[in-house]
Structure 1
Amino acid sequence: MPKYLMIYHGGDIPDTPEEGEKSMAAWDAWYQSMGAAVVDGGAPVGQSHTVSSAGHVDHGGANPVSGYTIVEADNYGVACEHAAGNPIVVDGSGSVEVAEFIDMG
């Protein structure tokens, strides 16, 4: 079954412990809704850096990465349906980019 990389852009950091608990509950519910499709739950990431032939910048550009998850799905449509339930998509604070891994073997 194809694997898909979900790359998170944006999202909010909770201001209070209560908001943090609510946020974690939403993420847990999202992961549970995908069940065995989750290959690697991923993690949030710190400040991103962009390296190119033009040099290095200390930020991720216009839309920096904020985390990732890897899932298995029958096709892009199913993978994107999973992504649509992500808490940062649902609450409007961010977006999820979906890309299929290419089997090189």
Structure 2
Amino acid sequence: MGKFVYAYTGGGMPESEEEGKRVMEAWTTWFGGLGDKVVDMGNPFGASASVGNGGPSGLTGYSIISAASLDEAKSLAGNCPILDGGKGAVEVYEALEM
């Protein structure tokens, strides 16, 4: 099994307490469905800065999961709540052992 990083882009902060509860429930349900494949549920990102030639990446959070392959990791990300309504995306990266 390898480790894979889900780098989230897009999405947004809930506009009401009710929406916030709905969003948190969706994330909790999704992570629950991944079971022991979740290595680190991660966190959303706050303020950011860029050092070097690149500009801001637009990343909004991350998670780390365990999967047998990049294809499996990509498939597991398919029901991620950030994809609801076409407002966000999940970039999937293999974390290489050093």
**Range class of TM-score, shorter chain:** over 0.9
TM-score under structure 2 length normalisation: 0.92
Q: CA deviation at 1:47?
A: 2.2
* 1:77 equivalent in structure 2: 71
* 2:32 equivalent in structure 1: 32
1:27 and 1:87 in contact (8 A); partners too: yes
Q: CA deviation at 1:91?
A: 2.9
How high is the sequence identity, in percent, across the aligned residues?
A: 38
TM-score under structure 1 length normalisation: 0.87
Secondary structure at 1:51's aligned position in 2? coil
1:103 partnered with 2:97 = yes
Question: In the comparison of the two structures, how many residue pairs are matched?
Answer: 98
**Unpaired runs of at least 5, structure 1:** none
* 2:14 equivalent in structure 1: 14
Partners of 2:70 and 2:11 lie apart in 1 by 23
